[in-house]
Each structure stands twice: as C-alpha cells, then as structure tokens.
Amino acid sequence: MIAAFGYALEGLRAAWRTQRNVRIHVALALAVVVAGIVLRFSWFGWAIIAIAIGLVLATELLNTAVEALVDLVSPQEHPLAKRARDVAAAGVLAASLAALAAGLCVLIATLRAH
C-alpha cells in the first residue's frame, strides 16, 4: 500500500512537471481557497469547493494519462487517437464548468449570508 502511494505521488510530480494545465488548475484552486478564507465560507461551502476542486484535478490527471497512453500507442496522427484526446479534454471542460457553477453558488450564498 505504501508503494501505491509512492506511485501516485510520482504521477502527481510528473503531471506537475509536464502539464501546464495542472499548474493552472492548482493555482486557481489556491485562489479559491484564499477567497474562501477571506469570505469565511461555511463548512458546507468548503465541502462543495473541495469536491469541485477534486473533480477538476482528477479529470485533468486522467486527461494527462489518456494523452500519454494515446501518444504511446499511436505516435502518428490517427482519427481515433484524436477522438480519445478530444473526449478526455472535454471531460476536463465539463468538470471545470461544473466546478465554476458550484463555486458561483457557494460565492453567492456566502455573500448573501454576510
């Protein structure tokens, strides 16, 4: 089990080093956390934010894995390889839009409560 955590951490390090979008998502997540501290999100707001951040980061990591696998098995351009990459990217977009909607709901509820 300890080895599995080590492999997961290595995956995080690799994604951090090689994927600009991972770094962008982490920076945005940190900005949301700072805003939550300043605005004093409720415990429920924090739960929603944590789930949203986790969803976006998880889909971004899966997208990174799909891209690496597609590059391995299809180094040349192929319509199915493009489709796999595009669909994985669409998953990140869907997760990001859902997180944005959740974040706006938390923000509006927080501002109304103050």
Q: Is 60 among the residues known to form the active site? A: yes
Parent domain of 103: 2-113
Q: Where residue 29 sits, what CATH number does that domain have?
A: 1.10.287.3610
Count of structural domains within the chain: 1
Catalytic, out of 10, 60, 67, 77: 60
Quick one: what percent of the chain has pLDDT higher than 70? Answer: 100
User: CA separation (Å) from 47 to 68, 88, 101?
Assistant: 32, 26, 14
Q: Tens of pLDDT along the chain (114 residues)?
A: 899 999 999 999 999 999 999 999 999 999 999 999 999 999 999 999 999 999 999 999 999 999 999 999 999 999 999 999 999 999 999 999 999 999 999 999 999 998
